[in-house]
Structure 1
Amino acid sequence: MMMMMMMMSKSSMWRNAMFLVGFLCLLSLSHAELPPNYSFMKPATEAPPVSYYDYIIIGGGTAGCPLAATLSQTSRVLLLERGPAPYGNKNISNLGNFADTLSDTSPTSPSQRFISEDGVISARARVLGGGSCLNAGFYTRASPDYVRQVGWDGRLVNESYQWVEKVVAFEPPMLQWQSAVKDGLLEVGVNPYNGFTFDHMYGTKIGGTIFDKDGFRHTAADLLQYANPPMITVLLHATVSKILFRQKGRPRLMAHGVAFWDGAGVMHRAYLNKGSKNEIIVSAGALGSPQLLMLSGIGPKEHLQSFGINVLLDQPMVGQGMSDNPMNAIYIPSPLPVEISLIQVVGITEFDSYIEAASGSNFAGHSDQPSHFTPNLGMFSPQIGQLSKVPPGKRTPEAIAKAVEQMKSLEVSAFRGGFILEKIMGPVSTGHLELKNLNPYDNPLVTFNYFKEPEDLRRCVQGMEIIEKVIESKAFSKFRYPYISVEALINITVHFPVNLRPRHDNDSKSLEQFCKDTVMTIWHYHGGCHVGRVVDHDYKVLGVDALRIIDGSTLNYSPGTNPQATVMMLGRYMGMKIMSERLGKKE
């Protein structure tokens, strides 16, 4: 009885908090500029207490949006998204405001901050369009080898990529900084030059971007323009608390509904229509999907019981195999103005380290810029870095504000430049995810075990060695001060507040220690619901009927140099396969 009272008390407190958050979210939604044909999109407060659909998709992210648009061609679809729409938010839509969304820690931010148990600061999307609303925009396909290893149908994969690319993929403008990085990569031997291409191949290439020629971001939410409006409902600020199952008189669990809170803290339920082919599909991402399975009673038995969760299916692999591709970078101040650019060029090395670059700030290179300003340094800003040198108990908003003020006192020239970064393939190192509490709005606890495996550290060191050579190349020479050595640049970068891990003196100039000390996320985390462990090759949850998981949580390693193109493709690809199965046709 006491346990029930405690749970009821916690639930009541959470609903009150959700009401305040939801109220603020609804105010922000009223100012959003929605696409004219998106009449099917509305706040969850307008949903009936109970509703029925053929497909219920949990998560309107990078996979969920194309999946919902596809299935709506022939079936009644409900898409539940816990965040707002991206439209009307200049921090999402404008390339120059990329870092502003990531540094926003308000309760209504489309970017939900989380810090891994490793001490690395990251972000989880809570917005329609998912990570495609927060990322650096690079668009590149998975390699043909990846497609074969996963077992996908190559023809349907290509058609699905093309379906996505008609709406969201563009060729980026190649200005001075990115061109210098490209030429530097070629000069130091990252060959051949493959020009502009979406394809993944060894050498140096110009990849695609989801920013158009005007610097306007196009996200997975734009793929809903393919939807059949009478057949789809998209609910915003709809936070699913659990999946509902039937079991009585059945040999296996069967998913048949979901319970979700709206932005005002009111509970709604949505159920599947009668029909053997109707399904619930979880597309809540690498953090959200394993978390929701656990909250619904599917996961490691002892872990669930420790939270008082009724265990419906003991599935010890839920939350296991979590991976995040580590990123390390060197900051290079420039004697010349540089353009504002995100990822456009990539060097794909034979040892499976990927070299990329970004440049500029909101003020860099403008003739009317003030002598002092607030720099936009992305992952290196005080707001995002959260002052790694300050003890955890003192990382207050006041401390962050003080650091920002200190940065304002610096000259513009101190922030004129950019980063060259490397990301390793895979990675080989993996970790795990656990529940923090019973609140579906909170982040779970996740450990990635960066560089636990020596192979990952070796690739990082080799990638950093390539970056050093690019910085010293003739092609890149005009964008670096000749009197600042590469060793000095490395030591400068070590002191940026990029994570909460302890720092070490780097006098030995050890690139191994540099990789460990300055590791960041590149937001490509994945795993937790792997194919063959939690879902089968059709993405159906093992041991459960009418339930699939289609998102990055199913990936064994990150496809291509950047996964968003493949995750969007996967939503379309599986939508086509499911629709064909439903109609009894060949794909």
Structure 2
Amino acid sequence: MGLVFCLWRLTLLSLAAILFSPKYCTSQKDDGRKYPFMQNAASAPSVSYYDYIIIGGGTAGCPLAATLSQSHTVLVLERGGSPYGNPNITNLNAFGVPLADTSPFSPAQRFISQDGVVNSRARVLGGGSCLNAGFYTRASPHYVREVGWDGKLVNESYKWVERVVVFQPPMRQWQSAVRDALLEVGVSPYNGFTYDHVYGTKIGGSIFDQNGHRHTAADLLEYANANTITLLLHAIVHRILFTTNKGGSRSRPVAHGVVFKDDHGREHRAYLNQGTSNEIIVSAGALGSPQLLMLSGIGAAHHLREHNINVVLDQPLVGQGMSDNPMNAIFVPSPQPVEVSLIQVVGITNFGSYIEAASGENFNGGSQRDFGMFSPKIGQFSKLPPKQRTPEAIAKAIERMESLDQEAFKGGFILEKIMGPISTGHLELQNTDPNENPIVTFNYFQDPRDLEMCIHGISTIERVINSKAFSPFKYNNMSASMLLNMTANSPVNLLPKHTNTGRSLAQFCRDTVMTIWHYHGGCQVGRVVDSDYKVLGIDALRVIDGSTFNYSPGTNPQATVMMLGRYMGVKILRERLVADETK
């Protein structure tokens, strides 16, 4: 027994050395390169076998796959293409171009929630990290404890991510003014540059390097074992396949394979190798994961039968608990030019609102100027309440924006996002086509506590705008209330229609709500999956991504989603090693 224990301990230490080795910890600079294990799904065999099948090569799927490949064969099925060689993904100044692309081949797939807010989901290797504003910040220690994660492994997993994809952003004049203004109005203390989630004002990390070059979760595949991982692009998973485990007193469905199609419409099947520890892991995102569970027969039985889907497990909580953190912003025209910046500074208030900012004009498509992450081209449109944001209204706003003089683009937006949120909605199938979006409702501000946080956030932004620190970037004759009214009436008009807003801050929150792309839920822990992310009532199936979150972690979730992929990969390998040794 002593010899077995020593061998087990030695093996575990060896595994740890592999898992945390910095061997691959240099960021890739060659935009055009592809991993040797990356291929189009059309080249895949009709039938194949692996230890792990990961559905979704996104923000969680990439670090998860890289980790599991250290000891086992892994198949990653990504429905989108490669981010490498695409300057609209790579370059900071091109932010928003993919989000404005509504073609079937865009790396961003637009959807509109039943609330009327335009949104996007990723369709590219690396997931949302290829499309977002780049801000990187960890979850709070309280969040980690509440979820029940191992704090030591969480920190190690964050650091594993940070060695490859995270940088300290350069602080220029406009972002510095926002920082100083937040401190002036009492969002303190100043915590400097840190990844940690702490009350006060701080500079966070960025996945854009000093040259404005984006690094994504796909870069974490540099850690992968190229001999054991297969990555298929343009692989649309249609359903998970199940068999029945008849052992014990009752039978349970067991995931054992998937059906996917390539971009030519040809069907392929991938199965798990024989072995009790092999698994299928769904990492398709907050929309894709609950959608795929339903398409595979896991969901509310009556809803599945409406779509002629065979019921594998009657699980009415799939698709429930959907949330999207509402964002509201105020545009501040500047009397002087400002730098192009996305999110760099955040004010973490003690009342549940996060204050952030972005500035400068983006060149989305040749020489066409727009407002970057607040452009109507990407659906960020606050002139009309959500239900009135028709395609015609958005098209008219784009036309007006493109006719503006260059002076109109000098300035930036100060935004607030509420913690949580508390309000929740649901997701259901529109049809059985996995390429199409499900129907999703977020119920923004349904809970009055969310609305109260927004009101406090907007009030704080007004004080930031009126502060001495921010005064060089504000016209003297434009009060914060005028800017509030200007934002609500026309995001591309420098002249307010009237000096009195004529609306309450509560109404402003409701009428100007936009998304900050932090939606989550649908496969939540304790409802659809257990604390190890195993689907309740199903064997050999897990969900590991933001769909499992009850609340969005930190001010921006991408750091924690990447961490979670790494964290669970390490946990799975450790648990499997122990299980193998005790057989």
Work out whether residues 83 and 110 of structure 1, in 8 Å CA contact, stay in contact via their aligned partners in 2: yes
Partners of 1:139 and 1:198 within 8 A in 2: yes
Structure 2 unmatched ranges of 5 or more: 1-29, 493-498
- Among residues 123, 134, 137, which one is paired with 1:137 in the alignment? 134
Runs (4+) of structure 1 moved beyond 4 Å? 385-394, 399-403
CA offset at residue 373 of structure 1?
5.0
User: 1:101 offset after TM fit, Å?
Assistant: 1.3
Q: Which residue of 1 aligns with 2:147?
A: 150
Whether the aligned pair in 1 keeps the contact of 2:111 and 2:118 (CA below 8 Å) is: yes
Distance 1:300 1:394, change over 3 A: closer
Task: Report what 1:426 is aligned to.
Answer: 420
Match of 1:245 in 2: 242
Q: CA deviation at 1:410?
A: 1.6
Work out the CA distance in 1 between the residues paired with 2:544 and 2:94: 30
Tell whether the 8 Å contact from 1:281 to 1:550 is kept in structure 2 after alignment: yes
Listed one character per residue, the Cα deviations across residues 42-98 of structure 1 (whole Å, up to 9, x for unaligned) are: 000000000000000000000000000000000000000000010011111101111
> Partner residue of 2:431?
437
Paired residues for 1:164-179 under 5 Å: 164-179=161-176
User: Which residue does 2:64 correspond to in 1?
Assistant: 67
Offset from partner CA, 1:326-374 (integer Å, 9 cap, x none): 000000010110000000000000101000000001369xxxxx9x953
Q: Which residue of 2 aligns with 1:254?
A: 254
Q: Which whole-Å CA distance do the structure 2 matches of 1:393 and 1:191 have between them?
A: 37
1:379 to 374, 378, 385: 374
Q: In structure 1, how many angstroms separate the alpha carbons of the residues matched to 2:382 and 2:353? A: 28
Please give the secondary structure, in 1, of the residue aligned with 2:95.
helix
Contact 2:418-2:453 at 8 Å conserved across structures: yes
Are residues 1:212 and 2:235 paired? no
TM-score by length of 1: 0.89
Unaligned runs of 5+ in 1: 1-31, 365-369, 499-504
Aligned equivalents of 1:400 and 1:352: distance in 2? 31
The residue identity in structure 2 corresponding to 1:335 is P
Query: In structure 2, do the counterparts of structure 1 residues 242 and 406 end up closer, same or farther at CA, with 3 Å as the change threshold?
Result: same
Assess, with a 3 A threshold, how the Cα gap between structure 1 residues 361 and 228 changes in structure 2: closer, same or farther: same
Question: Displacement of 1:33 after TM fit?
Answer: 4.8
User: Equivalent of 1:127, from 111, 124, 127?
Assistant: 124
Alignment of 1:13-92 (within 5 A): 33-35=31-33, 38-92=35-89
Give yes or no for the alignment of 1:515 onto 2:509.
Answer: yes
Change (3 A) 1:298 1:363: closer
- The answer as to 2:312 corresponding to 1:318 is no
2:14 paired residue number: none
The secondary structure found in structure 2 opposite 1:562 is coil
Write the mapping of 1:168-567 to structure 2, written as runs, cut at 5 A.
Answer: 168-247=165-244, 249=246, 251-362=251-362, 373-382=368-377, 384-385=379-380, 395=391, 403-496=397-490, 507-567=501-561
The residue number in structure 2 matching 1:102 is 99
Contact 1:506 1:514 in 2 (8 A): no
Q: Distance in 1 between matches of 2:500 and 2:78?
A: 45
| 431-440 vs 375-384, greater mean Cα deviation | 375-384
Q: What is the CA–CA distance in structure 1 between the aligned matches of 2:359 and 2:502, rounded to whole Å?
A: 29
Q: Percent identity?
A: 68
SS of alignment partner, residue 370 of structure 2:
coil
The 3 A distance-change label for structure 1 pair 318 and 358 is: same
Q: Contact conserved, 1:206 with 1:346, CA < 8 A, in 2?
A: yes
Residues 568 and 159 of structure 1: CA distance in aligned 2, closer, same or farther (over 3 Å): same
> CA distance change for structure 1 residues 65 and 430 in 2, over 3 Å: closer, same or farther?
same
Q: Given that residues 382 and 487 in structure 2 are in contact (C-alpha distance below 8 angstroms), is that contact kept between their aligned partners in structure 1?
A: no
Whether the 8 Å CA contact 2:382–2:488 is kept in 1: the answer is no
Give 1:9's aligned residue. none
- Write the deviation string for residues 415-442 of structure 1: whole angstroms up to 9, x where unpaired: 1100000000000000000000000000
Q: Per-residue deviation at 1:495?
A: 2.5
Contact 2:96 2:378 in 1 (8 A): no
Query: Is this contact kept in 1: 2:95–2:362, CA < 8 A?
Result: no
Q: Does 1:584 align with 2:566?
A: no
Q: Paired residue for 1:17?
A: none
SS in 2 for 1:545: coil
Deviations 1:401-420 (A, max 9, x none): 66544333321111110000
Distance 1:176 1:150 in 2: 38
Give the C-alpha shift of residue 129 in structure 1.
0.3
* 1:581 Cα deviation after fit: 1.3
The C-alpha deviation readout for 1:512-561, integer Å capped at 9, x for no partner, is: 00000000111100001111110000000000000000000000100010
Worse-superposed segment, 574-583 or 399-408:
399-408
Q: d(CA) in 2 for partners of 1:147 and 1:548?
A: 20
Q: Distance in 2 between matches of 1:403 and 1:153?
A: 48
The 1-side partners of 2:506 and 2:242 are apart by 49
RMSD: 2.2
Contact kept, 8 Å, 2:376 with 2:397, in 1: the verdict is: no
Change (3 A) 1:486 1:55: same
Report the Cα distance in structure 2 between the residues aligned to 1:373 and 1:572, rounded to whole angstroms.
40
Q: Retained in 1: the 8 A contact 2:381–2:389?
A: no
